[in-house]
Structure 1
Amino acid sequence: MNWDKNLGAALLLLLLLSGCALGPEGLDAPALKDSPEESEVHLQAVFAEAVVLMQNGDTGEAEARFEQMAAQYPHRPGPIANLGLLAFQAGDVELARNRFEQVLSVNPAHTVALNHLGVIARMTGDFPAAEQYYLKALATNPEYVPVILNLAFLLDIYLGEPAKALPLYEQYKALADDPDPRLKDWMFDAKNRI
């Protein structure tokens, strides 16, 4: 089994599945005359439009909208997290790291940012930091499927601890709506190395 190819493909899949920071998390209303409920609905719609642009590959326009929201509402982690995702997808790891750290300064329990900081730490060979980010992400959301699989890969492949990875593979299998078809191979290989 070619682990480098499979791991790379799996991580790319996880990054795509981890998606975006799904909501603006309380962006303030742009129009003071609107009621708070109307303003929140409006902002949710604006944020949702930017997310759709990002998902449809219109990254330039999505980035511009998230930049505007991040500048207007710097205390809201959603737009900043999505800017981090866009930077990561574009291969600008340093900008992505900065964005995700900015998110954590606003919300230290932001699961998506913690997961991606773990991925970045793993990519740069800082496996202890990657493990800490993943564990913090799991502490904030124990059922966040991308971080479960990322931690399993880290333990299994990079840290050589398949016995610790196997329960995570099982947890991923139980929680994932559509588990990666290679999961059986990963689990089989981990069992053989225990």
Structure 2
Amino acid sequence: MKFARKNLSKSLALAAVSAALLAGGIARADEYGDVNQLLRNGKPQDALNKADQYLAGKPKDPQMRFLRGVVLTEAGRTGEAIAAFQKLTEDYPELPEPYNNLAVLYAGQAQFDKARAALEMAIRANPGYATAHENLGDVYAKLASQAYGRALRLDAGNAAVQPKLARIREVFAPDSRGSAAPAASPGPASR
């Protein structure tokens, strides 16, 4: 599954940059870049500190709150990341990316029904959000795999189920070079 990382949305990014320029503060745009750079440099705690410092003065900034959720995810603080993205979906239900990232975290915990619901909300917020559609397909495949597995446990002699389960497992299996198939990629990726 793909994880939205760079921007909440084009319109939000444009709004943030415009607001920064209008406020005479290119520094605001630099704050996002600084947090991103610290994260790219493998310094998630420093990135989190920088985000928290910024949010102390502007606690409602959705872009930095989103970025903070990404930092928490990268730092392996899944529970806190889920809470951050959940709060963003409550405060900004029109933004699809927090729902998508929430779904990726749920899927990583094998909570596929929650992941499905979050992705449906992302698609409701933005029907053209391709990453959410792709991730929803991945979640449906995982749910199908679980259902086929249960069917086999209940009726081991059902010859029709085994090939279906095998095909789904093949989609999520490492390819011949040892890397995961794109549809199963659980790590962060740009949209």
Contact 2:55 2:64 in 1 (8 A): yes
Provide closer, same or farther for how the CA distance between residues 85 and 120 of structure 1 changes in structure 2, counting only shifts above 3 A: same
What residue number does 1:36 align with? 22
The aligned counterpart of 1:7 is none
Match of 1:120 among 64, 83, 105: 105
Task: From 63, 75, 91, give the equivalent of 2:76.
Answer: 91
TM-superposed deviation, 1:98: 0.9
Deviation of 1:44 (Å): 1.4
Equivalent pair of 2:93/2:125 in contact (CA under 8 Å)? no
> Where do 5+ consecutive residues of structure 1 fail to align?
1-10, 163-179, 187-194
Report the CA distance shift for 1:142/1:96 in structure 2 as closer, same or farther (over 3 A): same
Q: Pick from 141, 161, 172 the counterpart of residue 126 of structure 2.
A: 141
Aligned match of 2:42 in 35, 57, 62?
Answer: 57
Is the Cα–Cα contact under 8 Å of residues 50 and 62 in structure 1 kept in the other structure? yes
Q: Percent identity between the aligned chains? A: 18
1:154 aligns to what?
A: 139
**Counterpart selection for 2:6 from 20, 24, 30:** 20
- Aligned amino acid, residue 93 of structure 2: P
Give the deviation of 1:80 after TM superposition.
1.5
What residue number does 1:74 align with?
59
Is contact 1:25–1:77 with CA below 8 Å preserved after alignment?
no
Q: C-alpha deviations, 1:3-50, integer Å up to 9, x for none?
A: xxxxxxxx3xx23xx2234549649x89xxxx83413x3311222222
Matches of 2:111 and 2:95 in 1, distance apart? 20
Could you tell me how far apart the structure 1 residues matched to 2:46 and 2:14 are?
17
TM-score of the superposed pair, with normalisation by structure 1: 0.62
1:26 and 1:113, CA in 2 relative to 1: closer, same or farther beyond 3 A?
Answer: same
